[in-house]
């Protein structure tokens, strides 16, 4: 059974870069789209973006200028970097496995396995 685990600093200073890693266990990172989602305290979910194991990416336009998602297939890990953070980036960050395809009418994409999440606070 595939499991995902986020890791990284829980506290980041304003203007610095937030860096998180998601380790995939119980399955290969090859195939599937690997995603990042965040949830500010007391608020809803926001999709950050995804990466395919081959390296192709798609980012939320609202974050695109600050986001980089990368993958390391040798370690079965993928990572998130968010630059120039502010207090508005304080959130629980989740990594998730994305399933995609086209059938029978539309393109489909959804997250079927999620990590437990890690809290990142932006504060000096």
Partner 1 sequence: QSVLTQPPSASGTPGQRVTISCSGSSSNIGSNYVYWYQQLPGTAPKLLIYRNNQRPSGVPDRFSGSKSGTSASLAISGLRSEDEADYYCAAWDDSLSGLYVFGTGTKVTVL
49-88: contacts with partner 1 (CB under 8 A): 58, 60-62
Six-digit token pair at 111? 């997250």
What are the two backbone dihedrals, phi and then psi, of residue 3, each rounded to the nearest 5 degrees? -130, 145
- Give 42 or 123: the residue with its C-beta nearer to partner 1: 42
CA distance 67 to 56: 14
The answer to whether residue 34 forms part of the interface with partner 1 (CB under 8 A) is: no
Measured in degrees and rounded to the nearest 5, phi and psi for residue 13 equal -80, 150
- The answer to whether residue 1 forms part of the interface with partner 1 (CB under 8 A) is no
Q: Which is nearer to partner 1, 53 or 109 (CB)?
A: 109
Q: Point out which span in 10-18, 66-74, 75-83, 102-110 binds partner 1 (CB under 8 A).
A: 102-110
């Amino acid at each position: 059974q595939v499991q995902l685990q986020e890791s990284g600093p829980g506290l980041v200073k304003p203007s610095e870069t937030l860096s998180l890693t998601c380790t995939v266990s119980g399955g290969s990172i090859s195939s599937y789209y690997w995603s990042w989602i965040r949830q500010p305290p007391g608020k809803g979910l926001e999709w950050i973006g995804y990466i395919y194991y081959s390296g192709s990416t798609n980012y939320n336009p609202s974050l695109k200028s600050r986001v980089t998602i990368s993958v390391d297939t040798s370690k079965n890990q993928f990572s998130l970097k968010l630059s120039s953070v502010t207090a508005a980036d304080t959130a629980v960050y989740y990594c998730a496995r994305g399933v995609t395809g086209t059938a029978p009418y539309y393109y489909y994409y959804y997250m079927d396995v999620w990590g437990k999440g890690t809290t990142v606070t932006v504060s000096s």
